[in-house]
Chains A and B, each alone.
Chain A
Amino acid sequence: MDDLSFRRAIYTDPKTQDTDVLTAMLADDKKKQFSQEINQLDESIMQALNVPIPDGLSDKLILRQSLANHQANKRKSRIHLALAASLAIIGGLLLNFVQFSSAYNNLGDYALAHVYHEQGHFNNNSSTQISLKNLNDKMATFDGSFKRSLGKLLFADYCRFDGMKSLHLVFQGTTSPVTVFIVPKDEQLNFISNFNDNKLFGSSIAFKHSNIIVVADKNESLSEWKRSIQETVSFST
């Protein structure tokens, strides 16, 4: 190894463990001396830079960190509390919304759901029959009356139609019972004049304060039912 590259190597890193540099050093006393000089220089630099460390610096660093950490934790727990409170409020509002709002947005959907729900209770060939007087007593609640019977009335009672007090009538139909609802007008459910699904279909008639909804299977003539309802039902107000 020539002198120049040796010096260069030592200047670059006096503590080099490069084998070429080490063998060159062993072979030449001058090189060895040079290396020692530069190592001495490094030692002096080390000394010069080795300023005393302030007392207790490490303790101060740890203290400062634990204080900062404590502050952060306090902030964090406040945030958590705020989060929990917000969640509780949102939960409350949601519960309110679910409980007091309708899951159905029009009369037809609700009527169909209602009919399906009570399907099992009614037998088309049931022998019970409710008199016209009995029916009109109940209709009085809605300020309405039937002029004559629409057919064999199997069932007539109040029920909850999406939370509203309504009259639920079941007539004998051709193949399955025909359901008629008398429902007070309400803004939550949109009026829909005709609706159906794959088994049933229905139609609504709007009166001044009430809606009448007929739901029947597809063997019935809905328009016939509609026409006779319009003819027989009258409201006093």
Chain B
Amino acid sequence: MSADEQVAPVIEACGLETHFTIGGGIFAALAGAPPRIVRALDGVDLSIKAREVVGLVGESGCGKSTLGMTLVRMHEPTGGEILHEGKPITRIEGRDLKAYRARAQIIFQDPYSSLNPRLTVARIVAEPLEIHAIGDASTRREKVRQALRHVRMPPEEFEQRFPSDLSGGQRQRVAIARALVLDPAFIVADEPVSMLDVSIQAGVLELLDELSRKLGLAVLYISHDIATVGYICDRVAVMYLGRIVEQGPVQKVLRKPMHPYTQSLMAAIPNVDPAIRRDRVTLTGDVPSPAAIPRGCRFAPRCVHAGERCRTIEPELLPQEAGHHVRCHLFADGVDLQQTPGLPVTSQRS
């Protein structure tokens, strides 16, 4: 355990960029229109250690899923580096890439379309072992059973069932078992519970949390449901238009958000206690297109605090206190946003 503290993070992104080219088709070429570049990830720094669950939140289109998929090399990064246990894997190919993919797994949102309906649970979970040619039939069988036990699905009962016999929560457990069977070091969980009912999602979240600690996994938990992040994550990163605008210990970021964007995001969450009424910050407009990123701070066009500097110079992600980083000019000058009037504070209804 103590050795873990010394070694490099399980996964680390340094200035990671993933740009996509759109509109580069033959008609555009004939019309002489230049292809447009969508900067989905535009310089992301993030690291996750063993036994750590990091939350990644933001609005749709901000690049959360692209980051998850780039880290497991499902999308090709166009710039920056990805380090796995200190070694760059940004441009590895062939056998090396296949070996990396056994170490880095991803779980998707929809357990209804991510499992082959014609295979039994045992076959679904065994498939990665076959692809990576690990073990003989009996060791595979044992690994499959072990993975099913990890997700609390007794193999005797579930091995021979088909996905159609399973509930949404059970399907998502099978997807997790399939990710675990290769003994990965890093798992991306991309909205793993957003399709599940509330009464079921708690079980899946708890499982992810437990597995990360028990198996020493580094987990990137991607979600737009910010409340769930507080339950399973150690740290959280907030993304806006392809960049991280704030990151830090989960309770600090959720309860004392510093970046104006995080503050608006937190102020938008309905409170489950009917006796409490929130003050609101109304954020206008949509997230700008990542094909036309504004100059200066990316959030400036929607930010109530934006000044001249915000519209011209992009702020850096700077450390504030105890692991809390914020990308905002206001904090470079030591302005305390918490004290600024008009910002969200939860208040009791009289």
A, B co-complexed: no
- Chain B: residues with CB nearer than 8 A to chain A? none
- Chain A: residues with CB nearer than 8 A to chain B? none
